[in-house]
Structure 1
Amino acid sequence: MWKHPQTFKDIVPRMGMFHTLLTLLSIIGKRFEDAGLRDICIESGVIAEGSVTGVLEGRKYNRAIRFHKLMYEALQRLVWKHFLKWIEKSPAKQKLVKDVFASLKPLYNDVCQDEQEKVLANQKFAKFVKLYDEHLEFLRHSKGKLASFWMSYIEIVEIMLNLVRASREGDWELHLSAIAQMIPWCFAYDKVNYARYLPAYLFDMSHLNETHPEAFNYLNSGGFSVQIGDHNPFGRIPVDQTCEETVNKDTQTSGGTKGFSLKPGAICKYYLVAEYRSLFLKQLRDMLDEHKAHSEHTDLQSSRIARDEADVIALVLMLERFWINPFNSEHQDLVCLSTGRFATPKIEKDLLNAKVVGEEAYKSFRMQRLEINKDTQQAQFHDTLKKAKLHTFSELNKKVKFKAKTTKEIILKADMALFGQMIIIAESRKLQLRDVLRHPLGPLPWSLATADGSLRKTTKSTLAKEVQKNVPAADNIPHPSACIIDGMALVQRLKADQKTFSEVADSLLDMILHEGSHSSRIDVVFDVYRQESIKSAERERRGSECGSEFRNIQPEHKVLQWRKFVLNPKNKTSLTRFVTEEWKKDKYRRKLHSKVLYIACEEECHKISAKSAIPVRDLNSNQEEADTRIILHVAHAARSGYNTVIVSSEDTDVFLLCLAFKQSIPASIFVKCGTHSRIKYVSITNAAQVWGQDICSSLLGMHAFTGCDSVSAFAGRGKLGALRLVKENRDFQEMFKLVGMDWELSNELFKKLEEFTCHMYSSRPGTSDVNELRYRLFCAKRGSIDSVQLPPCADCLYNHAKRANYVAAIWKKSLESHPVIPSPIGLGWCKDGDQLVIDWMDGEPAPTAVLELLSCSCSKACKITKCSCLKNGLKCTDMCKCMDCDNRPDEEDNQDDTEDSDGDHDEDEYAA
């Protein structure tokens, strides 16, 4: 039409408002989804979990419109509550509000146009509106970042409601006004098609009175929307939505056109007569009096009103009681409402400035492509639009992605190609390769760290299976017995979706009683979750930051996302407190009958029986992990006269702790393991006899050194190979007994651990120096070896050994109720701001002479006259400042697996 304006001069194109609304809904979802909106949808019960993605992506129109209306109402109620607090210190403002409400009573009793006009004409009402607008401006600009962000939600939903209202009332001016407000958001969130065509549409429609006056009069009178039923007021809908609900809907068959024919002629006829078939179906329904329209709108039905009100109350309660109220004075930083996670500076900047970014992009587009002469036009209308690519809270949930092969991991703007690059630089500078390989040659030790900077993991359960392999299963367990249960393991097994917290407590107690059905004493031990913990990295790996946070647990509240609930450590702490208090109540105590229940909750322990609930000071402990505290409870049960103690835990750490402390506990210990249908009891006494006390005493140190929850494993080196070395070498047994005996790692012990590491990487290393072994392995492969296949250098291995020693020392304090544990800082960990992080190395990642040539500082494209990489025949890496450079290595798309020397596959996966 733009190419041949005279040919199509009588045609006026319009954008379909139904599909435009769907785009706006997807913008709302993209901006607010992971800021807490998704969790609010589900946990409030307004949207089912299976439908929430369609709602937030704008694919489920009716549900999305309804939810955003309800959420808008809930936020407005919170705004109103804050308004009442805002005016508390001003009696004059309070009196004004009171008088306005008194003037609203006639309208409340008789809702009609006349009463409404009287209210609007009231001078006090005008002052009240002005005062309330001041309060809204305060929330937008002065209350804090969180309030400002969620005020933008109210603003965008108002645009959505205005678009809907404009279509329903046939209000042309309101329609154009809403379109103008929507355009910047399309630019901000990269809806490029609507960002391109809505400005042109707005321009054409704004000049329609001059170009096509008859069409303007028609649209201005409401002709841009359709009234399907004559008896339904406020029921007009957009034209494209009308097509969807009439012709497209009536002519649908199961399977579409494929459902009746594949012949081109039949398909052509199918589409040509579609509108007539739809018309005939409508006339048939009218004749049969089916689907007759009624005068009452769906939203005005009493059942719908009651349901909507209940849902709004649920949304308000979720924000006020359980999560974060965005207009509460306590929270001013930009955080996710459900998880409490803080936005990064980049995310915060993009979210708070999104509208400004969109307005500037819209202004630039309009000036360059719509409002200038063709002679001076800087860009063509259809030229590619640059995307804003604004960050949202979703960025916090993204996994770090790496190249497919383990040898090409990208980490901290540096890749594994750096290893080879450093070798090339070292050779060009004529450095001794033996000296170069004393450094990790990377920002992290690749043999210990994964590409996102976290600990390498190994399958630690293989160690427990190997130890249990030749141990005969226990058939008869002597009674009476005590049963010690890992409480958090039961919580993880519990399926609690759609259950209230009261029902969760009840179900959990039933599971505990079933687990200890043959024991007269049952101990339930829960973990303690501290802010600064060496297990923080492992909890983050398991997704702790993705879990929604409940600030307050109420018995009657129903949990809809149990998996997300138990991901958050703060929720687990609140849950253990809650169930402990619940189980003290009479209705739960009656379930115990003659059994005695001990509950270790945080640093306290409570003894609950059918008659009473009392604290047990002997079992109060400051131990953090349930693994070590279980041993404390086993010893207490043995001292209390129980000759048999059953430990119900699948954790390898617990099994090894039982083996290590068997000599100190005067009772028969059995570890319950296996599946639900095949339960197996392993006698710790029998296991100790099979393996011998020397090996059992050394297993804790070996387990910590070869990888556990808080200490990294060695890439490609599993636990079975290490176990074979310990089993065959008595010196290694004695060495691992010493690991954890003192908080400080001695040089003598480190030298022995270094020798053990050399034997892990080579059956005949010929040296006990890992730096020397790195050089020998590199030369043996003629340089065709990756950093991940080499042992860590001595610097990185020393810090790794300190971490293993620290963890083993904690384990060896298991029988102490209040062990004095020093800070981990300086013992393999360090502080990064407020966070406890792993201290991978003390020295430089590479020799200074290598680092000097490692990257170029080219601001644009690299040129041989200026670029240090090109001058030295090197490829640019991600450490170089150049962004778009032809001197970068090609990315590899192939995928490979790393196999442990034991035959076990490494659990880490790398995706391109």
Structure 2
Amino acid sequence: MNIIKDEPLNSPLKSIILRLGGFHLEMSFVGGIGHLMEGSGITELLEKVYAPNAVTHMTSGKAIARAVRAHFLIDTALTSIILSHIYGIPLPDEIENETGTNDINPANYINTNNTDINAEDLSDELHEADAMLDELLKGDISVEKACENVLLDQIKSRIDNFRVSHKSFRISQLWFQYMDMIDILRRFIKAERTGNWELHLQTVKDMLPYLAASGHNLYVKSSRVYLQQMQNLKTTHPEVLTFLQSGHHVIRRSDKFWAGLSSDLVIEQVLMRSLKTSGGMTRGRGMSEGQRAQWILSMPDCAEMNNALQEFTGVNYGTSDQHKEGGESRRSRDCQDLKTFLSFLISRNPFVEETIHGRKKIDEFSFKRKEQAIISSANSAIKVDDDVIIVDSQLLFQRFLAASNGIYEDQSEIFTYELCSHPSSMFDPNGLMRTAQKSSLADTIWGKGDCCAFEMNENDETQYVIDGGSLFHRIHWQSGLSFGEICQRYVDSVERKYSNAIVVFDGYASGPDTKDATHQRRTKGIIGTKVSFTDTPFKSKKEIFLANLENKQNFINLLSAKMVEKGIETKHADADADVLIALTAIESSKTKPTVLLGEDTDLLVLLLHHADVTSNSLIFKSGNVSKVNTHIKIWDILKTKLLLGEELCTLLTLIHAISGCDTTSRMFGVSKAATLKKFGEHDIFKTQAQLLCNANKKDDIISAGENIISSSYNGAPYEGLNVLRYRKFAARVLTNKTCVQIHTLPPTSNAASFYSQRAYLQMKMWMNKDNLNPCEWGWKVAN
């Protein structure tokens, strides 16, 4: 535009009129709809039909064909709900549930209790609408004549009255606005397909406030300038205006009424596709100016040659007169997906009267500190004169180092402090414990020798012990089933696969637990809505539902009761069930061959620690169905324990806890494989591990724990972590090409003392000596 504007008056470029690409404007507007409706539940609604990854591209406007279809179906579903309110008729899904058929006439299902309108008037309108639809489908009347029928004006008037009656309901207003945006989109597509110039300009104008509200500022600016230029065509280029008003602002490949295509869409389909496919310029031809000119100017000749070859060979390319959206399979799929959207919206009707009203205005409401949610950024904060400041740990570390110059004669003294808001070697920038890769410990043990159970003589005498937490992930929860039916699927699966089973469940009703931080990380802070059980249909995602611990406990209780009814034995732990699962399997192996089905490395560690090598066969394996070409480890616990030795198996719980598990963090740069290797190669590590395992005094535990952590960072014997921190820092300053990152240094002695206490507590819990109070061993209760 600026190029044309700056050209001289006699330049031929002055005769060029720039147009806004309709296809890309449509994509931007659809992306704006997705942005404005974010958080309204539309994402969850779309995921009932489309995959989550596809929904992301649909709401951004990239997957435009899917997005347009989905938005039109949702708009139809919302309109159906409104008409159901107005005419007092049940929705198709409700009628099918009652009659078992989808051959319905809405006029036969009028319920005068749901509407204030005279039933006879409603019946007449519905019968007349039904008759007009039949005539339209049979071709007895034209679309133009149907649109001129006063009946449609009456229905529209009733819808307008319905919207006025719900104007004070905020949720209803949100979805009314959504329907308005879809109406604009529908009219814009109609303008492009039919070549209606005036409708095109009007819909572009209607899009402006929504594009601005969604932050699509470049399209707002371009659309406004475009509208101004097009409105001036009457005086500047009247012949061009006449050309555009004749329907030539779109490109047509045929003379069909609904065959108009936006110019930028045709450019994408023809020019850009040819440019980037085989034989195009991006396939080795080069992109110089001369090559581009030759390639573009040769396209008409290539088209003529293509037509000549078609005539010569008698092979012609043609398309069907029937649009793909009018086919039987597409209409059937549309009907199915429409019912899916309706089913979701009926249970969350956006047009019901709001029963929740705020008691105070937002500017008069007082927020209480005890009700404040703790966000991850708050864990990266420090307090200065009662002011909470969010800081960057690395920046804070560098400033502390700079400020210490001249204050401390011996700069090593400053390394007795963490120099950041939290021990960054143990916690990530969000303040959460660094996640340990627990499976690496199992992989390391597996690589030490023959641990595999080659012959599994499973028979009717074999006792199966099943991890209830792992069992949850084996069955797909189909939306629409009741929780009782979902539980029955679990019961049927266990009965079908295992003749003699004991299922052990975790407990989630005992209050604060040392695994709460792990639960928070796994659920990503999501808390599902509390749900009533048994006959309640499942409507959400399984992960969201199970993120609510009360829901999870209620589901466990329901599932356990159904299993007991079928003769399946169940056990319940007060909190984490790993110890109970392992001890149940070990106790069973004393009298019969036993197979433990689970996924957690914690179970493997506990089995190796507690198992009796004189017992019957004890197998540990995954209960999930093996994937193609995937090696599933089947552990022979007794063989593995003999391979590792009694000494290592006794200390394995400590090695697992101090190298990172669900209740202890992983230390940056210290792997489980390296920790296990040190046990066999470093006497100081083994000695200190034995001291920590047998210690009773807290000072001895802290001292031994610090020595173990120092050894893990390759420190000198009894060097101490504070000295090691400074020595590591000084060495890296001399050798590193970049600045030293604070999280790569070992923790301070003070941070290691609390870490050692938490590891000791977890070790004792795994040893089934859990009468210790976590608040006395490195933990505190926080809201």
The 1-side partners of 2:585 and 2:504 are apart by 11
Match of 1:65 among 63, 68, 87: 68
Aligned CA distance change for structure 1 residues 656 and 295 (closer, same or farther; 3 Å): closer
Counterpart residue identity of residue 429, structure 2: A
The 1-side partners of 2:265 and 2:236 are apart by 27
- State the Cα deviation string for residues 656-677 of structure 1 (Å, max 9, x = none): 2123333699765343489965
Asked if residue 312 in structure 1 is aligned to residue 338 in structure 2, the reply is yes
- State the Cα deviation string for residues 602-638 of structure 1 (Å, max 9, x = none): 8947657xxx71464xx44234434233125325635
Asked if residue 256 in structure 1 is aligned to residue 280 in structure 2, the reply is yes
Higher helix share: 2
Asked if residue 628 in structure 1 is aligned to residue 579 in structure 2, the reply is yes
- CA apart distance, 1:447: 1.7
Q: How do 1:762-801 residues align onto structure 2 when only pairs under 5 Å count?
A: 762-766=714-718, 770-771=721-722, 774=725, 787-801=742-756
- CA apart distance, 1:58: 4.2
Aligned CA distance change for structure 1 residues 98 and 277 (closer, same or farther; 3 Å): farther
Match of 1:828 among 773, 779, 782: 779
Aligned CA distance change for structure 1 residues 41 and 746 (closer, same or farther; 3 Å): same
- State the Cα deviation string for residues 292-345 of structure 1 (Å, max 9, x = none): 788765545555433322221123334556xx6666789999xxxxxxxxxxxx
- State the Cα deviation string for residues 71-101 of structure 1 (Å, max 9, x = none): 3323444566677899x99989622698456
- State the Cα deviation string for residues 199-252 of structure 1 (Å, max 9, x = none): 11111123333433444344345443356544x444444344456667888999
Q: How do 1:253-332 residues align onto structure 2 when only pairs under 5 Å count?
A: 254-256=278-280, 268=293, 271-272=296-297, 274-275=299-300, 278=303, 299-301=325-327, 303-318=329-344
The 1-side partners of 2:46 and 2:568 are apart by 41
- State the Cα deviation string for residues 375-400 of structure 1 (Å, max 9, x = none): xxxxxxxxxxxxxxxxxxxxx999x9
TM-score (norm 1): 0.62
Q: Secondary structure at the match of 2:5?
A: coil
Asked if residue 570 in structure 1 is aligned to residue 524 in structure 2, the reply is no
Q: Secondary structure at the match of 2:466?
A: strand
Counterpart residue identity of residue 670, structure 2: R
Match of 1:208 among 229, 233, 239: 233
The 2-side partners of 1:759 and 1:248 are apart by 61
**Retained in 2: the 8 A contact 1:549–1:570?**
no
Asked if residue 613 in structure 1 is aligned to residue 566 in structure 2, the reply is yes
- CA apart distance, 1:416: 1.4
Range 106-115 or range 567-576, more displaced: 567-576
- CA apart distance, 1:162: 1.9
Counterpart residue identity of residue 212, structure 1: H
State the identity as a percent. 21
- CA apart distance, 1:482: 1.5
Asked if residue 662 in structure 1 is aligned to residue 611 in structure 2, the reply is yes
Counterpart residue identity of residue 95, structure 1: I
- State the Cα deviation string for residues 714-766 of structure 1 (Å, max 9, x = none): 22333225634688655632422458xxxxx9455334433443444455344
**Retained in 1: the 8 A contact 2:504–2:571?**
no
Match of 1:733 among 685, 690, 694: 690
The 2-side partners of 1:735 and 1:237 are apart by 76
Aligned CA distance change for structure 1 residues 504 and 56 (closer, same or farther; 3 Å): same
For residue 713 of structure 1, what is the aligned residue in structure 2? 666
- CA apart distance, 1:803: 3.3
Counterpart residue identity of residue 462, structure 2: S
Asked if residue 119 in structure 1 is aligned to residue 74 in structure 2, the reply is no
Counterpart residue identity of residue 154, structure 1: M
Q: How do 1:110-259 residues align onto structure 2 when only pairs under 5 Å count?
A: 110=132, 117=148, 119=150, 128-135=158-165, 137-139=167-169, 142-143=170-171, 152-189=177-214, 191=216, 193-226=218-251, 228-230=253-255, 232-241=256-265, 254-256=278-280
- CA apart distance, 1:425: 0.7
The 2-side partners of 1:252 and 1:474 are apart by 55
Q: Secondary structure at the match of 2:595?
A: strand
Asked if residue 646 in structure 1 is aligned to residue 676 in structure 2, the reply is no
For residue 588 of structure 2, what is the aligned residue in structure 1? 637
For residue 105 of structure 1, what is the aligned residue in structure 2? 127
The 2-side partners of 1:61 and 1:238 are apart by 14
Aligned CA distance change for structure 1 residues 462 and 312 (closer, same or farther; 3 Å): closer
Counterpart residue identity of residue 717, structure 1: V
The 1-side partners of 2:87 and 2:614 are apart by 63
Aligned CA distance change for structure 1 residues 68 and 477 (closer, same or farther; 3 Å): closer
Which runs of 5 or more structure 1 residues have no equivalent in the other structure?
A: 334-395, 402-410, 581-599, 740-744, 833-912
Counterpart residue identity of residue 224, structure 2: P
The 2-side partners of 1:748 and 1:259 are apart by 71
- State the Cα deviation string for residues 854-884 of structure 1 (Å, max 9, x = none): xxxxxxxxxxxxxxxxxxxxxxxxxxxxxxx
Counterpart residue identity of residue 709, structure 1: D
Higher relative contact order, structure no. (Cα contacts within 8 Å, ≥ 6 residues apart): 1
Asked if residue 723 in structure 1 is aligned to residue 679 in structure 2, the reply is yes
The 1-side partners of 2:741 and 2:271 are apart by 63
Q: How do 1:420-435 residues align onto structure 2 when only pairs under 5 Å count?
A: 420-430=398-408, 433=411
Q: Secondary structure at the match of 1:523?
A: strand
The 1-side partners of 2:208 and 2:507 are apart by 50
- CA apart distance, 1:444: 1.7
Aligned CA distance change for structure 1 residues 471 and 17 (closer, same or farther; 3 Å): closer
**Retained in 2: the 8 A contact 1:669–1:684?**
yes
- CA apart distance, 1:11: 4.4
Asked if residue 16 in structure 1 is aligned to residue 21 in structure 2, the reply is yes
Counterpart residue identity of residue 234, structure 2: N
Aligned CA distance change for structure 1 residues 278 and 18 (closer, same or farther; 3 Å): farther
**Retained in 1: the 8 A contact 2:463–2:594?**
yes
For residue 523 of structure 1, what is the aligned residue in structure 2? 502
For residue 424 of structure 2, what is the aligned residue in structure 1? 446
Aligned CA distance change for structure 1 residues 656 and 5 (closer, same or farther; 3 Å): same
For residue 484 of structure 1, what is the aligned residue in structure 2? 465
For residue 880 of structure 1, what is the aligned residue in structure 2? none
Q: Secondary structure at the match of 1:307?
A: helix
**Retained in 1: the 8 A contact 2:426–2:665?**
yes
The 1-side partners of 2:532 and 2:300 are apart by 56
Range 195-204 or range 642-651, more displaced: 642-651
The 2-side partners of 1:568 and 1:685 are apart by 41
Aligned CA distance change for structure 1 residues 576 and 125 (closer, same or farther; 3 Å): closer
Aligned CA distance change for structure 1 residues 467 and 728 (closer, same or farther; 3 Å): farther
- State the Cα deviation string for residues 32-82 of structure 1 (Å, max 9, x = none): 68876566545415xx77866665554554444323322332344456667
**Retained in 2: the 8 A contact 1:716–1:789?**
yes
The 2-side partners of 1:472 and 1:425 are apart by 55
Aligned CA distance change for structure 1 residues 196 and 678 (closer, same or farther; 3 Å): closer
Aligned CA distance change for structure 1 residues 471 and 463 (closer, same or farther; 3 Å): same
- CA apart distance, 1:708: 0.5
Match of 2:415 among 413, 437, 447: 437
Aligned CA distance change for structure 1 residues 442 and 296 (closer, same or farther; 3 Å): same
Which runs of 5 or more structure 2 residues have no equivalent in the other structure?
A: 90-109, 358-374, 381-388
Q: Secondary structure at the match of 1:715?
A: coil
Counterpart residue identity of residue 712, structure 1: S
Match of 2:701 among 718, 743, 749: 749
**Retained in 1: the 8 A contact 2:397–2:420?**
yes
| Aligned residue pair count | 703
